[in-house]
Amino acid sequence: MSANTHASGSSPAPFSNEPYANFLDPAVASEAAASYARVSSGLGATHSLFLDGQWVDRDEHFESVNPSRPAQVVSRHAKATVEDAREAVAAADAAFPDWSQTGQTERAALAFKAAALMRQRKMDLDALLVLEAGKSWVEAEADVAEAIDFCEYYGRDLLRISGMHSTAPQPNEKSELQYIPLGVGVIIPPWNFPLAILCGMTIAALITGNTVVLKPSSDTPLIAVTFVKLLLEAGLPPRAIQLLTGPGVAIGDALVENPRTRFISFTGSKAVGLRVNELAAKPQPGQIWIKRVVAEMGGKDAIVVDATADLEDAVKGILASAFGYSGQKCSACSRAIVEAPVYDEVVAMLKEGAERLRVGAAETPGIHLGPVINERARKNILNYIEAGRAEARLLSGGSAGAGEGYLVEPTIFADVPSSARLFQEEIFGPVLAVTRAANFGDALRLANDTEYGLTGAVYSRDPENIERARREFHVGNLYVNRKCTGAMVGSHPFGGFNMSGTDSKAGGPEYLLLFMQAKSIATRV
């Protein structure tokens, strides 16, 4: 039983992160195999949109496939239309008055109930992530645990900020402030954390009293359908959430531009995030507010290693950050910047470590890298690798992996100049650029030489270098002597600077306020 478990109606226990299952334990491995078989037995079914409290099908459908076995259809889904987008916003708008007036304790209870249901079904959710998102069991477990953490953390935080807050008193006056919901929110989550980020964005918007239209990635729609059904089981009023599945820029544009849309919460690429921001900034006929955009976009994250670092620990952190989930994380280390005195040694250690990593189908026990999400992504990554051969020295990897899935070998380039595409552009795959720095100041300069500012790490035993990095390394999440991936809800509020987004700090004490507005009330007494 999790330390977060609490009886209905009682004050929740202090927050603690959901523990991870150990897949080296034979009992856990057996449970995982059973879940994989159980979830696999239901593959191929057709799923509908969820509009105005009803599951509704459409004539056109699209397929979600297993990235490890692209011939295997995971599910078929109704393809939403622009008219569906308009209907979804109208339905969410009609549901807003009732849901927004629901008590905050009741809304927090929804988050706790959703966490409890996910905890009960964790291994089946893991299996679904393995099948639809191509996550290894370890990565899938972390994804589901983070989703549970978001529910538990945000539920508690809503209770913390609920009610009236006293402000500085004035003579003969009672001054208060309260936080109220915004309205209809459009939630556009990514495919790479298709449960954790989807859950965090959606739960935060819902429990703060907003209604939502959820538009998941077309690469991972079944996880979204599963989550919506779980929320309904947890007690969410059906009309408070709308689910639109299907590809198409037109649907997303229609949702963002709708005058009844109050806010957009987006996680994805820089290009799409900037488009969302641009469309949201233009007021539409009948619109009476400035739309709020909460955007988490890309990263070109660096790990800096100085001459005093524990090199074994640094190399371990770089490899884990670069190649976990095949580098398909906005927080992934795509640049290793190493001080000259230890550069050659670190390069040799990285090559040796990368060549020990196993690539294969996501469900295979003990693999380090599963597939990338789809064939388009694999082609894009391989094109970057091919271009990199002319920019730098290929150290290891460099090819598609052997097997039927969308596999790419863990690839490392050494001696990468800062002008190279490998150094500047987000690849979103298992490709690491290693660059030599003349000294620590040069390393920080190189680390900051990017339009992004999401995560970064420094490995050093020098207190002055560490303190300098704390001041000068311009990222939203800085880690010292640990990897740059794996932000934990409650401990590492997550969000970045510059073209990495609006610095939302998901999983932190300010996040829920992004989905609310403050109302000041002064009463003469």
Just list the catalytic residues. 296, 330
Give the separation between CA 120 and CA 123, rounded to whole angstroms: 8
Cα–chain center distance at 504: 12
Place of tokens 């954790």: 196
Phi, psi of 387, rounded to the nearest 5 degrees: -65, -35
Q: Which two tokens stand for residue 36?
A: 């994989």
DSSP letters for 230-252 = HHHHHT--GGGEEE-----HHHH
Cα–chain center distance at 219: 14
Residue 452's closest CA among 316, 189, 274, 251? 274
Q: What 3-state DSSP class applies to 413?
A: strand
List of residues 6+ apart from 390 with CB closer than 8 A: none
List of residues 6+ apart from 493 with CB closer than 8 A: 487, 505, 506, 507, 508, 509, 510, 511
Angle, CA of 201, 134 and 110, to the nearest 5°: 30
Q: Which two tokens stand for residue 291?
A: 């739309």
Burial of 229 (0-12, 13-18, 19+ CB in 10 A): middle
DSSP structure class, residue 293: E
Q: Which two tokens stand for residue 6?
A: 């609490």
Are 414 and 337 within 8 A, CB to CB?
Answer: no
Cα–chain center distance at 288: 31
List of residues 6+ apart from 24 with CB closer than 8 A: none
Residue 95's closest CA among 195, 181, 220? 181
Give the separation between CA 163 and CA 123, rounded to whole angstroms: 37
Residue 181's closest CA among 86, 97, 243? 97
Are 88 and 255 within 8 A, CB to CB?
Answer: yes
DSSP structure class, residue 430: S
Give the separation between CA 186 and CA 92, rounded to whole angstroms: 10
Give the separation between CA 498 and CA 100, rounded to whole angstroms: 33
Are 505 and 154 within 8 A, CB to CB?
Answer: no
Measured from the Cβ of residue 54, the count of other Cβ atoms closer than 10 Å reads 11
